[in-house]
Structure 1
């Protein structure tokens, strides 16, 4: 697959990937500046010229993906010394790391509120895993939506077991018993970033009593938000509830650490693009002294 086709697909699906661009060359090199390739954890699209140099680019990209942090880095490859290639040139490769979705939301329930939620989340860079125990619950428009996957699992334990760690779970099925079973399974699993349950305070009081009897600690039960939605929001229409829930999820989204300098380290850029020593003026010439 050509790099730009792969980039378009991976960006739309919010799958982790790295765009590698050859930005500078010196001497004999396998490709010209502007050549690009896209790298994922298990695939490579297009080429920067092959050989040991390309394998090193792929390895550097996958190490960056493993850290899961977005950003850019500039890698220098002396093809003779570092890559062992006989062409002996020198290249700089810019690696742009896209770690995938900013958040993963596991939504249980394809009712009226669930459908409005999915519509609201569609433009956001979030991955949505939509679950319902009823095979006919999902609307036709949910098919082939980017970053949306629909799943049918009759048993709560099976649905919860398939979730990735660190997701934000929202429980709003058509059945209170199913809701309680899902919260039970989510608490037992214990690695969700957050758990939200639709309903009233009285519903949660009933659930809390039964979940406590099932062995869940008070600290664990404090992790469940019920009712859900940003505090102070009012309205009972499905769209109104969905807006309040998405706003609440935005408050739960991890905040990136603030940095004064972003992207490639300025020192790296200065070293990469500084003129060679032969082009630097001598102290005498720089001061205007002809001697």
Structure 2
């Protein structure tokens, strides 16, 4: 799991929960918001107290002590499993938490697993820049690479990491697993080297290559010579990229087609008729607390 980016780290490790939440939401980093939603008897904090938790940092406090450590551990274990959604945890302070104040606390933990999709974009030309603009409002994390150091726009967008990457294999090695890779550099040799490195790595969610059918025929011959089986090339690389039947050659038109195609590749969230905190848990929350 990735650490919060420098823009958050530079602000220090003891931010108010709302400042940390804003930064982590902008950066689409995994985090959990823990809120005291009910209290009985003597408790460290009152309902409304909040704490923001990441894999390796805590912002603000629910009052300290064993109770707070248990909330942090509960949230971090769920984040490590990649969970999202909400859960309601009950803490009898004299029982579960072993604290002498003896009160009873209900904590709502809201889990954010991070970016909905990870996209690796190789190429900062006209289509790449149009594509980044279209992806900016989406809850995706974009890793943007180009071997040229002077082609990126000056503006830094949220959830966008820009990298000067002259070595294709080294750039591919930095990607998180499960990325959707889009290859569209200014150089065909660089494109082929990137597809080779992405296939060798073997854990991309998808690989898309910009270009014509004839370009892909030429690339397949070179990739087979590099040791990649034809069956893998057919199954794992899309070329041309974009939705089938899309018309238009303007950069924005091509980018629209590519974003639409990525939406068809987005993982389907599992749905059930019961979401959020389980009804049985909510019912128990409204019964008289007993010390366990």
Report the TM-score when normalising by structure 2.
0.93
Q: Is the 8 A contact 2:104 2:289 kept in 1?
A: no
- Return the alpha-carbon distance in structure 2 between the equivalents of residues 4 and 274 of structure 1: 31
Q: 2: distance between equivalents of 1:240 and 1:70? A: 34
How far apart, in 1, do the equivalents of 2:56 and 2:129 lie?
Answer: 33
Question: Which of residues 248, 265, 268 in structure 1 aligns to 2:278?
Answer: 265
Partner Cα separation in structure 2 for residue 104 and residue 219 of structure 1 = 25
Match of 1:204 in 2: 216
- Specify the alignment match of 1:113 in structure 2: 127
- 1:29 and 2:43 equivalent? yes
Secondary structure in structure 2 of the residue aligned to 1:116: helix
Which residue is equivalent to 1:183? Answer: 195
The 1-side partners of 2:18 and 2:175 are apart by 30
Corresponding residue for residue 230 of structure 2: 218
Partner residue in 2 for 1:235: 248
Partner of 1:246: 259
Cα distance in 2 for residues equivalent to 1:139 and 1:90: 53
| Structure ID, larger Rg | 1
Structure 1: tracts of 5 or more residues without a match: 278-291
C-alpha separation in 1, matches of 2:286 and 2:213: 62
The equivalent of 2:180 in structure 1 is: 168
Q: Which stretches of structure 1, 4 residues or more, deviate above 4 A after TM superposition? A: none
| 1:7-46 → structure 2 map (5 Å cutoff) | 7-46=21-60
Distance 1:276 1:204 in 2: 66
Q: How far off is 1:140 after superposition?
A: 1.5
Question: For each residue in 1:41-93, what CA deviation from the matched residue of structure 2 results, as whole angstroms up to 9, or x when unmatched?
Answer: 01000000000000000000001101212100000111111111100111000
Cα-to-partner distance string for 1:184-207 (whole Å, 9 max, x where unaligned): 000000000000000001100000
In structure 2, the residue matched to 1:49 is 63
Aligned-residue offset at 1:219? 2.6
Alignment equivalent of 1:87, drawn from 101, 111, 114: 101
List alignment gaps of at least 5 residues for structure 2: 1-14
Q: 2:191 and 2:185 mapped to 1: Cα distance?
A: 6
Q: 1:62 aligns with which of 76, 87, 93?
A: 76
**Alpha-carbon separation, structure 2, partners of 1:244 and 1:276:** 56
Cα deviation 1:219-273 (Å, max 9, x = unaligned)? 3212100000011211110000000000000000000012110000011001111
- For 1:230 and 1:102, locate their aligned partners in 2 and report how far apart those are by CA, in whole Å: 21
Q: Distance in 1 between matches of 2:92 and 2:232?
A: 54
Take 1:10 and 1:168, find their aligned partners in 2: how far apart are those partners? 22
Mean Cα deviation higher: 33-42 or 60-69: 60-69
The separation in 2 between residues aligned to 1:150 and 1:113, in whole angstroms, is: 16
Equivalent in the alignment of 1:104 = 118
TM-score (norm 1): 0.93
Q: Quote the Cα distance in structure 1 between the aligned partners of 2:84 and 2:285.
A: 22
